């Protein structure tokens, strides 16, 4: 097996720190907060690294806030913890995922901070 890269090493240390189990499976990444478990397709790129950070962020953030606020807080957590600055591609992915969640939660009005995070991709 190949040596773990710095992203995989960082994820492994966060899983340990937050006592989270991880399951690698294809498809959409997911966090199960009550089970303290994250499901990810792997950590093989900067994009999958950020997505994994976001899912771990869901466990760190918990279930108290509204759906969209939890998404925002999990991304803010990922931004704070990441060992690299996200490039524009990653910021665009984050924007697209936030937009998808917004479409999936038409009952909720996104906060100003949510909209600000969605705009972040284009101004850094
Ligand atoms: Zn999420």
pLDDT digits (tens, 9 = 90+) for 21-74: 999 999 999 999 999 999 999 999 999 999 999 999 999 999 999 999 999 999
Residue 117: Cβ-neighbour burial (10 angstroms; 0-12, 13-18, 19+): buried
Asked, for residue 1, whether it belongs to a domain, the answer is: no
Structural domain includes residue 102 = yes
On whether residue 106 sits in a domain, the answer given is yes
Domain total in the chain: 1
Q: Which residue has the higher pLDDT, 18 or 4?
A: 18
Ligand 1 mean position, distance from CA 57 (Å): 8
Note down the domain range covering 63. 6-122
pTM: 0.94
**Rounded CA separation 15/29 (Å):** 15
Identify whether 85 is part of a domain. Answer: yes
Determine the distance separating the centroid of ligand 1 and the alpha carbon of 5, expressed in angstroms.
24
Q: What is the CATH number of the domain that holds 113?
A: 3.30.2010
Q: Is residue 15 part of a domain?
A: yes
81: its two tokens:
């913890």
């Amino acid at each position: 097996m190949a040596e773990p890269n710095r992203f995989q090493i960082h994820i492994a240390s966060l899983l340990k720190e937050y006592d989270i189990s991880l399951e690698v499976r294809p498809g959409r990444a997911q966090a199960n907060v009550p089970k303290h478990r994250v499901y990810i397709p792997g950590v093989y790129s900067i994009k999958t690294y950020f997505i994994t950070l976001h899912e771990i962020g869901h466990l760190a953030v918990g279930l108290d806030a509204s759906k969209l606020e939890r998404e925002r807080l999990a991304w803010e957590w990922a931004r704070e913890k990441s060992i690299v600055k996200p490039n524009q591609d990653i910021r665009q992915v984050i924007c697209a995922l936030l937009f998808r969640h917004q479409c999936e939660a038409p009952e909720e009005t996104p906060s100003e901070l949510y909209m600000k995070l969605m705009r972040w991709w284009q101004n850094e």
